[in-house]
Structure 1
């Protein structure tokens, strides 16, 4: 469950603004505030089943956004390249060949950031 919670938090961070206010609220209550379906249904005056259905639909919507737009995937790839670049540049202080490799990696990152 922790993996799913972490994944949903990441999806919500990237795509939450694309959801309706009600969808945002339910995701926040369930994943960020750790409320149960029953607690959410009491708070919003809807059935537990309605909360469950809305959460599942919203989870699917968020995943579909990532499947189409791939912001998280791009972000993770760029982050790994930046970490690699930083490590390389840390070593490159004394080695000109490594500096050149670092420049190439930086150029690759720039290309991904600016299509």
Structure 2
């Protein structure tokens, strides 16, 4: 059985534009629209195995892109630091705000 890793839907949002259109469309239908391999195969006029192979290639490419660029990791870290910054700003501790601001800059330029 071909189990879905929903993290690929998230990666597709970041990197989908660099994939071949057909591959990106199949991944979108599979992860975001929750279509089955058979439904996607019918839409594209190919076999389920052809769809599965295209999805697997797309997943491999998305994984490779994230391993090299780490965009989702950076966004998650930025969100975490931003939430901390908001809390500290509420407490009016300006020294800590500068420290977090510096860490945010470091994250952006890794």
Q: Normalized against structure 2, the TM-score is what?
A: 0.90
Q: Secondary structure at the match of 2:75?
A: helix
Q: Which shows bigger deviation, 98-107 or 17-26?
A: 98-107
> What is the CA distance between 1:8 and its match in structure 2?
1.0
More helix by share: 1
Name structure 2 gaps, 5 residues minimum. Answer: none
1:71-112 Cα deviation digits (max 9, x unpaired): 1111111111111111111111xxxxx211112211221333
User: How many pairs are equivalent?
Assistant: 108
Q: Distance in 2 between the 1:28 and 1:108 partners? A: 34
Match for residue 113 of structure 1?
108
Larger Rg over CA atoms = 1
The answer for the alignment partner of 2:63 in structure 1 is 63
What residue in structure 2 maps to residue 104 of structure 1? 99
Which digits, 9 at most, give the CA deviation of each residue in 1:22-65, with x for residues without a partner?
11110111111111000111110001100011111111110110
- Separation of aligned partners in 1, 2:37 and 2:109: 42
**Whole-Å Cα distance in 2 between the matches of residues 20 and 53 of structure 1?**
14
Tell me, in whole angstroms, the C-alpha distance in 1 between the residues paired with 2:109 and 2:11.
Answer: 22
CA RMSD between the two structures = 1.5
Q: Which runs of 5+ in 1 are unaligned?
A: 93-97
> Matched residue of 2:35: which SS?
coil
Deviation of 1:114 after TM superposition, in Å, equals 4.9
Moved more, 60-69 or 103-112: 103-112
CA distance in structure 2 between the partners assigned to 1:47 and 1:112 by the alignment = 43
